[in-house]
Amino acid sequence: MSDATAPALPTYRLDDAVAVIAMDDGKANVMSTQVVETLESHLDRALDDRARALVIAGRPGKFSAGFDLGEMTASAESMRSLVVAGARWMLRLYGYGMPTVAASTGHALAAGALTLLSCDVRVGADVPSKIGLNEVAIGMALPKFAVEFARDRLVREAFGPSTMGAQVYDPAGAARVGYLDQVVAEDAVLDTAMAEARRLGEIRTGAYAATKLNLRAAMIESQLAVLVEDMDSIEVPKV
């Protein structure tokens, strides 16, 4: 694919003390290997900039449709390499040393939904959209790290249906089960997320980060330890 036709990569900007990562490839905001590498570099940059909080936003109608199906279905090796890289980014985000806020602008499926589960606060747009872990529905076993994200963040009664049952939700349902914390008008999503990031950024960053790790380090470390072995058992999805 030429540079002229390649999807746009996530961008980064610093708004006062809030780092903003914006995903807008003009399509479904899929996560390819190059996208994941870019997301990793943006986390590095936010730390270098001494940001107080981080916002991750999508494009109108699309937060992220998940991993790039071209890579996911090319071969078992391609699929496993991409998911391992993406999982490491999400687990890093889950323990990231500053407040993180997702501006969920629309559809968030598979890795898109996992990115929501990786963020501390999730603000969703009140628009027709699907949010959830649909892996089982396309013939892919849900990896262990994804199951543990769901176990940590979703309400207990939704855990089985959302993982084994591949149930997806509209924004109101996603807020009920734990993918989102609040749902606001579409044109207020980014402003609400930014306001929440600024509010959380006023908290002592060191205390916030240390408490986050007290809550999440055991899960993060356990999943990093088994990630490659687990992915070696996962087969290419049937789509």
- Examine residue 219 and state whether it is found in any structural domain, yes or no: no
pLDDT tens column, 154-173: 999 999 999 999 999 999 99
Question: Which pLDDT score, from 0 to 100, does residue 3 have?
Answer: 55
Question: Which pLDDT score, from 0 to 100, does residue 237 have?
Answer: 73
Q: Which two tokens stand for residue 106?
A: 């629309």
Question: Which pLDDT score, from 0 to 100, does residue 5 have?
Answer: 62
Q: What is the residue whose two structure tokens read 């402003």?
A: 191
- Examine residue 66 and state whether it is found in any structural domain, yes or no: yes
- Examine residue 228 and state whether it is found in any structural domain, yes or no: no
Question: Which pLDDT score, from 0 to 100, does residue 235 have?
Answer: 85
Q: Which residues lie closer than 8 Å to 73 by C-beta, 6 or more apart?
A: 79, 236, 237, 239
CB 166 within 8 Å of CB 135: yes
Question: Which pLDDT score, from 0 to 100, does residue 4 have?
Answer: 54
The mean pLDDT values, 10 residues at a time, for the chain of 239 residues are 69 98 97 98 98 98 97 95 98 98 98 98 98 94 97 98 98 98 98 98 95 98 98 82
- Examine residue 83 and state whether it is found in any structural domain, yes or no: yes
- Domain count for the chain: 1
- Examine residue 6 and state whether it is found in any structural domain, yes or no: no
Q: What does the alpha-carbon distance between residue 94 and residue 117 come to, in Å, rounded to a whole number?
A: 8
Question: Which pLDDT score, from 0 to 100, does residue 238 have?
Answer: 67
Task: Assign residue 119 the CATH number of its domain.
Answer: 3.90.226.10
Angle at 133 between CA 85 and CA 94, to 5 degrees: 50
Question: Which pLDDT score, from 0 to 100, does residue 47 have?
Answer: 98
- Examine residue 186 and state whether it is found in any structural domain, yes or no: yes
Question: Which pLDDT score, from 0 to 100, does residue 2 have?
Answer: 40
Q: Which two tokens stand for residue 183?
A: 């749902």
Nearest residue to 102 (alpha-carbon basis) of 110, 91, 114, 92: 114
- Examine residue 189 and state whether it is found in any structural domain, yes or no: yes
Q: What does the alpha-carbon distance between residue 61 and residue 76 come to, in Å, rounded to a whole number?
A: 31
Range of the domain at 96: 11-201
- Examine residue 179 and state whether it is found in any structural domain, yes or no: yes
